[in-house]
Amino acid sequence: MTPASSRRRDLPAIVASIAATVLGAGLGELAAAIVAPTASPFAVIGGGMIDLAPAWAKDLAIDLFGTGDKAALLVGIAVLLLVVAGAAGVLERRKAPWGRVALVAVGVVGAIVSFTRADAGTLSPVPSLIAGAAAALVAGVLIARLRRGRASAASGDDDGVTRRGVLALSGVAVLAGVMATAGSFALSGGARAVSAVRAALRLPSPATTTTVPAAADLGIDGLAPVVTPSADFYRIDTALIVPQVDPATWALRVHGLVEQEVVLRWDDLIALPQKETVATLVCVSNEVGGSLIGTARWLGVPIRDILARAKPTAEADMVLSRSVDGFTASSPLEALTDDRDALLAIGMNGEPLPIEHGFPVRLVVPGMYGYVSATKWVSELEVTRFDRAEGYWTSRGWSERGPVKLQSRIDVPRSGAQVAAGETVIAGVAWQTHVGVSGVEVQVDDGPWQKATLATAISADTWVQWSLPWNAASGSHVIRCRAVSATGETQTSDTAAPAPDGATGWDQRTVSVA
């Protein structure tokens, strides 16, 4: 037998093993939908990869795929799985039962990872084990047929009938796998149920509101609107499958270094006086000039009101907020109890929080990057100390505290834009949430720094729009901007990467004027 003909005979084994794996994965997803909705093998492995991935890999994924990072990860896992399945097919044909062992091992890895997930239950390993076992069983049967077909054939190529039969069975396995996957989607009605609850929900009206002055929005084409529509609001989190939390079963436990443990349910929360504020939320991963920032009207109860009931003890200096999916954020106790509008938010832009933005309850803390404050799907506030506990990203190398840095961005003209010569406008946004911005300066090429006009600020907790008229001469121009904070600090030109505590440097655009 020549190596070439051996390799050719690998092909039907590869097809059979991949088909068996598609079937196993489908059955695993179906089993998850029935017995352990949070333990979908794909979600478990993907979630484990997100948690284990080093910070640079997370940044790279956000850079490459933006908010499509999770879809990209799922596709990546599927491709990897099919490659492993193909290899297992070759192994099984040449050295049975090692191919089956490999497929079972993949299931066992999924089962082990499922135990490490924050929302693990006793049945969590079951779907991955079923997936691995089914894939191994079916691959074993199909490849054994191929081997028997060869053994009974007189020459290497006479077993075509067996091969065609196995290929047909592989097709059936793929079809069954796809149907099982579709069934799992149909069964995981939890997601649809929570959407329905959300759609029917009526929010209480606020006792106090913040109005958005008309002059807060300059209405310039291409400039980010001062209040970001929820549908355009950036989304960053580690949740591969968006947690589905029913307000009817939601509860917030406040515990740790407190005199009085407090458990707050949805009905308790909406019975309290609600405040509507406008605040800008920004991600620590936002690059200079980046778009991981947005501003919304938030409705909710000041966190200090809840903490006042629990009475933190004198030694406490941090609150570790925890999400139902295990994510944690460490916020200074002071930022949650001083006079700022740190909210336990239930509404965003006049509607219940969108599910991917934390429905039914999240935190919003002006002045802090999201990773140390803005816990979505929040279920716990543990009052503790910075020297005793740390948040999700802190344990992955990011700073334990994350006050928002002074920044500004040019929105108009866009980078690389073609601008007609003559009177035009340069415009953008600037922020240092909870400090405020007192001015923005713009430099064209190496000319003098010119003062831009600021729009009316909604508050120190929001970004502010700015603009500057520009008489553009033909040629290529470099535009840069820098903000001045309400405390008189000028935005630094020193460049720093987002890790570990936020990017610095000036935003700059090159535009060509014709």
Among 358, 192, 156, 371, which Cα is nearest to 281's?
A: 371
Question: Per DSSP, what are the bridge partners of residue 472?
Answer: 422
Contact by Cβ (8 Å): 245, 377:
yes
370 near Mo ion (CB under 5 A): yes
C-alpha radius of gyration, the chain, whole number: 28
Contact footprint for ligand MTE (CB under 6 A): 233-239, 281, 283, 323, 325, 327, 357, 370-371, 374-377
Residue type, 280: T
| Contact partner, 281, from ligand MTE, Mo ion, none, Cβ < 5-8 Å per class | ligand MTE
**What DSSP string describes 321-354?**
EEETTS-EEEEEHHHHHSSS--EEEEEETTEEPP
Cβ 381 to ligand MTE, closest distance in Å?
A: 13
Binding test (CB under 5 A) with Mo ion, winner from 44, 283, 404, 511 = 283
Q: Which is nearer to ligand MTE, 29 or 380 (CB)?
A: 380
- Residue 256 in contact with residue 322, Cβ under 8 Å? no
Supply the minimum distance, in Å, between the C-beta of residue 235 and Mo ion: 10
Binders of Mo ion among residues 207 to 236 (CB under 5 A) are 236
Which of 250, 371, 392, 463 touches Mo ion by CB under 5 A?
371
Q: How far is the CB of 168 from ligand MTE (least distance, A)?
A: 45
In order of 71, 282, 509, the CA distances from 366 in angstroms are 30, 10, 29
- Separation of alpha carbons 437 and 456, rounded Å: 11
Taken as a whole, the chain contains a residue count of 514
State which residue, 37 or 370, has the beta carbon closest to Mo ion.
Answer: 370
Q: Provide the phi-psi class of 246: left if phi over 0, else alpha when psi is between -120 and 50, else beta.
A: beta
Judged by beta carbon, residue 27 or residue 353, the one nearer ligand MTE is: 353
When CB distances are held under 5 to 8 angstroms depending on the partner's kind, the choice from ligand MTE, Mo ion, none that residue 311 binds is none
Alpha carbons 497 and 283: distance in angstroms, whole number: 13
Binds 359: which of ligand MTE, Mo ion, none (CB < 5-8 Å by kind) = none
User: Between 235 and 274, how does the x/- string for binding to Mo ion read (CB under 5 A)?
Assistant: -x--------------------------------------
- Cβ atoms 275, 302 nearer than 8 A: yes
- Do 412 and 221 meet the contact criterion of CB atoms below 8 Å apart? yes
Which one of ligand MTE, Mo ion, none is in contact with 419 (Cβ closer than 5 to 8 A by kind)?
none
Work out what residue 290 binds among ligand MTE, Mo ion, none; the CB cut-off runs from 5 to 8 Å by kind.
none
Q: Nearer to ligand MTE by C-beta: 26 or 370?
A: 370
Cα dihedral 58, 61, 67, 70 sign: negative
Q: Residue 292 or 481: which CB sits closer to Mo ion?
A: 292
Q: Which does 509 bind (CB under 5 to 8 A by kind): Mo ion, ligand MTE, none?
A: none
Give the interface with Mo ion as residue ranges (CB under 5 A). Answer: 236, 283, 370-371
